[in-house]
Amino acid sequence: MRKLLNTLYVTIPNAYLSKDGETVLVRVEHETRLRVPIHNLEGIVCVGLVSMSPPLMGFCAEHNVGVSFLSEHGRFLARIQGPIHGNVLLRREQYRRADQDADSAAIARSVLLAKIANCRTSLLRAGREHPSESLKHASAQLGQSLRLLVSTPSLDGLRGVEGDAAQTYFSVFDELILHQKKDFYFHGRSRRPPLDNVNALLSFLYVLLAHDIASALETTGLDPAVGFLHRDRPGRAGLALDLMEELRPVLADRLALTIINRRQIAGNGFSRAESGGVTMSDATRKEVLVEWQLRKQEEVLHPFLDERIPFGLVPHAQALLLARHLRGDLDAYPSFIWR
């Protein structure tokens, strides 16, 4: 069983991380703020003006602790990782499948079926609590998208169905925001930079989710860069983005709506730059990180394993199931469908 609270998030400006024996040391202005044994960690995320000593980088690589650097806006900058462990035959099979359109389409279809089904479940739940014709109509459209996916053979066709479904889902996302409407509204997805508070929050959560999924894939022995739905591009973790599709509605989107509707964050925790981009304050970012870790501790019934596991283990479970499929132990990849 993997630890849940195994990722260290460092958000304090000008923090410096170094190695002290078998321990990661966090200092701010020469004052020691935290000591964490390396065996308690599987990942370190540095947000904003945070630096790290070269000996610690090498130490983390040796112990398979992934280190990610994010900008103060939450944008992914870089990742430090030691050699990928695992069976070389598994990675070779991953590459062979990725080069075959039919095999890639089969895995991509499973991922997108789960993504659209999870989006639809979210809208159906909201519609039961707050009935709305637009939510009902969007849910019906997503149901039609699910039927189209089953009969769509090509990757490009699958991407087209997914694009239409995403547009339908986000067209009613604003209705899921029930409180603080003056500060938190959603008129469409915007990135690089996010143009409103909700998009800034979503982008930050997506980066955190991508980090966890990439770590899970590397731990399993898969190459996070070679995906089936997202094609190869320098600097992009295509496979991590693939698995992220099915988990975004469940882990990131629902958490964003929860902390907004429960008023756990406020509009004054965001600011707009001259460029128009919106960023979170340090205090708001810390609050989001706390809620992210708490969310990962909540248990959910895994639809394929048929047992309750913490949300934080879902990326690891999906990575293992994908590896079993690529090895031939499973006829198809069982994606995560939220109940």
Are 69 and 46 within 8 A, CB to CB?
Answer: yes
Residue 275 dihedral angles phi and psi, to the nearest 5°: -75, -10
Q: Flag whether pLDDT at 146 surpasses 80.
A: yes
Q: Flag whether pLDDT at 234 surpasses 70.
A: yes
Q: Work out whether strand 50-52 and strand 43-47 pair parallel, antiparallel, or are unpaired.
A: unpaired
Residues 11 and 102 in one domain: no
Residue 34: CATH number of its domain: 3.100.10.20
Burial letters 147-184, b for 16+ CB under 10 A, else e = ebbeebeebeebbebbebbbebbbbbbebbbeebeebb
Residues 289 and 227 in one domain: yes
For residue 171, is it within any domain?
Answer: no
Tokens representing 40 are 């308690």
Q: Which one-letter DSSP state was computed for residue 129?
A: H
Is pTM beyond 0.95? Reply is no
For residue 338, is it within any domain?
Answer: no
Residues 94 and 30 in one domain: no
Are 72 and 279 within 8 A, CB to CB?
Answer: yes
Q: Work out whether strand 31-37 and strand 43-47 pair parallel, antiparallel, or are unpaired.
A: unpaired
Neighbours of 328 (CB within 10 A): 8
Neighbours of 228 (CB within 10 A): 26
How far is Cα 193 from Cα 204, in angstroms, rounded to an integer?
11
Long-range contacts of 306-314 (CB under 8 A, 24+ apart): 310/4, 311/250, 311/251, 312/2, 312/4, 312/212, 313/1, 313/2, 313/4, 314/247, 314/251
DSSP secondary structure string, 15-71?
Answer: EEEEEETTEEEEEETTEEEEEEEGGG-SEEEEESSEEE-HHHHHHHHHTT-EEEEE-
Mean predicted confidence (pLDDT) in 163-184: 92
For residue 40, is it within any domain?
Answer: yes
Pairwise pLDDT comparison (339 vs 93), residue with the higher score: 93
Residues 74 and 209 in one domain: no
C-alpha distances out from residue 61 to 43, 80, 313, Å: 10, 7, 22
Pairwise pLDDT comparison (160 vs 86), residue with the higher score: 160
What pairs with residue 28 in β-bridges? Answer: 15, 31
Number of residues that this document lists for the chain: 339
Which of 104-118, 244-258, 305-319, 322-336 comes out lowest in average pLDDT? Answer: 305-319
For residue 136, is it within any domain?
Answer: no
Neighbours of 253 (CB within 10 A): 21
How far is Cα 81 from Cα 92, in angstroms, rounded to an integer?
20
What pLDDT was estimated at residue 120? 95
Q: Which of 212, 245, 208 has the alpha carbon at shortest distance from 230?
A: 245
Q: Work out whether strand 66-70 and strand 43-47 pair parallel, antiparallel, or are unpaired.
A: parallel
**What is the count of structural domains for the chain?**
2
Residues 204 and 287 in one domain: yes
Neighbours of 14 (CB within 10 A): 11
**Structural domain range at position 55:** 7-80
For residue 164, is it within any domain?
Answer: no
Q: Which of 89, 38, 78 has the alpha carbon at shortest distance from 61?
A: 38
Mean predicted confidence (pLDDT) in 277-282: 87
% the chain with pLDDT above 90:
50
Q: Flag whether pLDDT at 82 surpasses 80.
A: no
Residue 321: CATH number of its domain: 1.20.120.920
Residues 224 and 279 in one domain: yes
3 state DSSP class of 300: strand
Mean predicted confidence (pLDDT) in 277-293: 89
